[in-house]
Structure 1
Amino acid sequence: MKLQFLDPLYAHPGPIASACLDTSRDVGDPDRAIELRLRSLRESLLAHDADEATVGALASAVGTDRDVAGRHGQALFAAHGSLLLAQCLPEPPARDSARFGMLPDVLALALQHAPDLPYAAVVLNRVHPAGPGRGDDEGEGDREGGLELELEHERGRWPISRVAPGPRGHRRVPVEGWPKEAEQLLAELVDGVETDGTEAIVPAGDPWAVNSLIRAAPRALQGRFVKLEHGRPRRPEPGRALLEDELAGLFAGRLPDHDRHLLDSYTGQRARHPEYVEGLAAAVGALQRGQARALFLNRPVRHTGHLWVGAAPTHLALSGEELSAFGLHYYWEEPAAGAALLRAAAGTQAELVVLPEEEVPLEDGVAVLLRYTGP
């Protein structure tokens, strides 16, 4: 996963106010609940010497995701009286957090972007022309009954698309016109593969329409279809992704092809030189040199210690003495190791790959893939 979405945060010097809070709408009087959470976060930031203008800028964005239904959260960042970034999170944080420091606390946000899997969801259902509701499932022999086929499709990047869906197409055609419409849809899906790297196409709904779509797929789409068990998918709630519940099951533990390739390369390097690629010390050393092609983190995160950092992304070390030996005169102890690692990764164009600890346990919960191996 590339980390360019964090660039707006690193374009501004600190200190930066960071907040992560639950803004779910599935509770009684959600606005009141969010107001109480905001009050607590505001008090925490002010107690840590954040200025009123910055806290006010951050507070103004809390709850602006009210158009998103269900459970979710927000990650917010502000500095020098201006809001830098506000993003909706697919899952609310385990606990609200607020921090005012030289580096933005981006770990929770980055983890909820991973694995950043590009996909397309397609829902096909037969409906009666006069009504907006979904019709009953009919067999192939009932296609000529004046029914229409309702088509919804959406491209996204899982899992952030759960609360930030991509463009959604919606149209209806007569059932007998479906073969021609399927050709147009397949052309749009091919375009998604070429432009967004779509890896998984998930069709659902009417079995006849789904099967005919897959049979007509060109070579560029072969092997990308992932069929769901037969069943009528429910309509998404406001602000939520098409087929969200179904995709959660399909994509659980799945890595994009590119990340899988990075993991395979890392496994080869670890077999030859584990001391250079696994563990916090190895990761810090590689990021110092701009040598890391990818940063691997275990989920759940285990590295909770401090690191020492300076003004540049590569100013990163296990101790202040190490930075002093490099000739730096301005550096500080950074209490959030994850924030320091991610700034270094983003600043050196390293990618992020998040791995379940039970599947790929890493020493200290962190590792790197090297761009090159030196002596």
Structure 2
Amino acid sequence: MSAEPLRLTVDETGPGIVRELTGDQLAALLGVPGLVRLSPAAGGRWRLAGNQKTGLVRLRTPSGATVQLRLRPKLPVRNLLFLLGHSPTDPWLNETVEAAEADDLLPALADLLARVTRRTLDSGVLHGYRTVEEELPLIRGRIRTADQLRRVGLPLPVAVRYDDHTPDIAENRILLAALHRAARLPGLPPRTGLALRHLAHHLDGVHPLPPGAPLPRWTPNRLNSRYTPALRLAELLLADRSLDADDGQLPTTADGFVLDMPAVFERFLTTALTTALARRGVRCAAQEQHHRLDRAGQVRLRPDLVLYRAGRTVSVVDAKYAARHSPAPPTEHLYQLLGYCVALGLPHGHLVYAATSGDGQGGNGPSEHAVRRVGITVTAHALDLGRTPAQLLTEVSDLADRITAAAVPDGAEADVPPGATRE
């Protein structure tokens, strides 16, 4: 009889928990670096503290036992789902009211995928044309002349190439892979698992993705627009890019789903702030590379957001998934933003922190920090992620107003740095 699984619940932030762990269990936890922070505690025990990740992972130990690790978010699931899914063009968050009734992230995400996919497939399964090369006993499409002329003996089968109208396209392959994976998530209610498997049966004729294969590429267009919300959620469930394993994915000794919360906050801020600033005539460039800090151009900088107006660099923004410190941001945060401002020739930059209701940071206004001798001002802001979606978007709009007001006016010295590239 197999041993009872070890079940651990660790909050995303905070002091963590102290537990006795066998060497076998410790090896499983260490097998996914960065998942939690481990440190020795009194009495030969171990302290497990959150590392800004949320989700649920089932780890297999070297002896074959199981460690189930639940990483509990500090935000309510409803708020977290809003951060994950916010988009001005295809908000699938209309579905989250019922999906977020549970306190657990995984059941909520799986239920949300089932709801969005059901709505997507109600209008039928999307078909597309796919180029097929095969050998047939009859002519279909075009003959692959070069391949056919190389034949010796009988002319059949014929080497042909044709376009097949099929459901076996990138969009459906991604959706099918997400349905299969969501149905296997640990702790899933039977009703949700049944709904996911039923929806997968609708995708008859779609080939499953091979294990470990990269997701096929798809391009949003008029024909697949109704699929877009489901595909964005499917790619989220299939990503697992938040773990620090060598290949960026869960190792073969683990399964589950984990979100890296700093990355979630950065993506939300990028999307929401880009939309808000566009209405004010400011363009945002995300994750753009710059090499103008040193004369040789060897130091690479990649700010979260560089802001342009009429082709000129006007400001820079960096997202920080942490409560805003008082009276001043941490020194390393200031140094980082100062480097961005110096490289871009800007007198003003912005740090945007993620506050939560109850931490005493969300209601505070921005704080300015003028750096002596260099003439650069850093402004620290806080967005309260614990507020309702409408309130949070209002905060983003107010933030856009403050950033625009402080931006370099037209005609100032800052300009577009040559050689900037985007990753």
* Same-fold call, TM cutoff 0.5: no
Q: TM-score, normalised by structure 2?
A: 0.25
Higher RCO (CA < 8 A, seq sep 6+):
1
TM-score, reference length from structure 1? 0.27
Between structure 1 and structure 2, the one with the greater Rg is: 2
